[in-house]
Amino acid sequence: MVYIRADGNNSIGMGHIRRCITFAKNMFPDEKVLFLSADESAEKIVYENGFRTIVLETDYRNMDGEIDKLKTLFDDRGENISLEEKKKRNIVLVDSYFITKKYVEFLYDNAYVILVDDNNERTYKCDELLNYAIYADELGYEKKYTDTKLLLGIKYAPIREEFKKAGPIEIKENIKNVLITTGGGDSLHVENNIILGLNSIKDKIQDLEFHFLIGPMCEEGYAKVIEKNAKMVGINWKTHENVENMAELFKDMDIAISSAGSTLYELAYMGIPTIMLLYANNQKKNIDAFMKKCGMLYGAECSPLGGYPVGYMKESLSKIRDKKLRQDMSDKMKALYK
């Protein structure tokens, strides 16, 4: 049995869940996969992708508190069990920022553990470690994980099959369609703040159409708030809610304004010139690496206090109109996967 331990909710978004769904499809196509989550927030999206979830009814921030519940899933591996035998019994892929040493050691004693890690800030017992970040090979995993199989770099990025089929976009002479995406949720109301901020430059963007992607974890009625304020400001806009095939939407976009999480890897795969938004400190390395390696542009830091982040994006929005810059950025983005 393959277990995937990940959470998604209004507070942390759906990034962990979405990438784990792709890991499940890419890494274990012939295995039975069961998701484990603290609550039911991600159950619907997991089910829609063909998997079931065991809801642990725990606090996703206190993973040690679920160890007793997990004991019922695993057989005691006994002493001196071989790695291959361990792998045959149970495989657990765990993807959370809230793991502890105690938690991972419990998993390691009972299963073959694949740990998804983003920063190499701590060392854990695991059989495989996966970090698909564009900067993963710069973090020094080889020194800490001498007995662990390392899966490092963008070639391990969880690119969904729909994006692989869609392929890269064509860079046009002028831009028209602008995708705005903040991941599975928008707890900071960044999309709405962007609309309000566009009011200050609306005379310069009348040739653009802004496509607001409303994620599944956005609060109920958020699309109507976006629509109301877009009308008030007077921009050209569309909202996209309950999107089943994201690649179909992406392929019609000329540029994107995106939070600097996992979505950047799909945008890079399709070669869509991108302005990045900083949502959290753990995204700074992503931003620095994508700027350095393929020329993506930095847009703004999104503060919990709100504000109009578009005010900081005027320069980037102006720069990205240049076709040569966009073509160069797109070519470098696509080259990351070759």
> 46 CB contacts (<8 Å, ≥6 apart)?
17, 21, 35, 37, 52, 53
The last residue of a domain, from among 129, 158, 187: 158
* Residue showing tokens 């949502």: 279
Strands 274-278 and 297-301: parallel
Q: Are residues 217 and 99 in the same domain?
A: no
pLDDT of residue 314: 83
Q: Is 275 left (phi over 0), alpha (psi -120 to 50) or beta?
A: beta
Q: Give pLDDT tens digits for 200-211.
A: 888 999 999 999
Q: How many domains does the chain contain in total?
A: 2
Residues in the chain, overall count: 338
Q: Are residues 166 and 145 in the same domain?
A: no
Q: Are residues 59 and 78 in the same domain?
A: yes
User: Other C-beta atoms within 10 Å of 149: how many?
Assistant: 11
pLDDT of residue 143: 96
Q: Are residues 182 and 137 in the same domain?
A: no
Closest CA to 96 of 63, 52, 135, 139: 63
Q: Are residues 89 and 171 in the same domain?
A: no
The last residue of a domain, from among 158, 179, 201: 158
Residue 317 near residue 279 (C-beta atoms within 8 A): no
Q: Give pLDDT tens digits for 260-318.
A: 988 999 999 999 999 999 887 878 999 999 999 999 999 888 876 666 677 667 889 99
pLDDT of residue 310: 72
Rounded Cα gap, residues 324 and 171, in angstroms: 9
User: Other C-beta atoms within 10 Å of 223: how many?
Assistant: 17
Q: Are residues 219 and 331 in the same domain?
A: yes
> 250 CB contacts (<8 Å, ≥6 apart)?
163, 166, 169, 179, 256, 266, 267, 270, 272
Residue 179 near residue 272 (C-beta atoms within 8 A): yes
pLDDT of residue 188: 80
Give ∠ CA 299-305-307 in degrees, rounded to 5: 50
Q: Are residues 172 and 314 in the same domain?
A: yes
* Residue showing tokens 């199989």: 149
pLDDT of residue 189: 83
Q: Are residues 10 and 153 in the same domain?
A: yes
Q: Are residues 150 and 244 in the same domain?
A: no
pLDDT of residue 95: 97
The last residue of a domain, from among 158, 191, 216: 158
Task: Find the CATH number of the domain harbouring 331.
Answer: 3.40.50.2000
Q: Are residues 190 and 295 in the same domain?
A: yes
Rounded Cα gap, residues 138 and 143, in angstroms: 11
Q: In the numeric block, which tokens belong to residue 56?
A: 């642990």
Q: Are residues 209 and 331 in the same domain?
A: yes
With a cut of 50, list the residues of the chain below it in pLDDT: 77-79
Residue 252 near residue 272 (C-beta atoms within 8 A): no
Residue 194 near residue 257 (C-beta atoms within 8 A): yes
Q: Are residues 124 and 63 in the same domain?
A: yes
Task: Find the CATH number of the domain harbouring 10.
Answer: 3.40.50.11190
Give ∠ CA 314-205-274 in degrees, rounded to 5: 55
Range of the domain at 113: 2-158
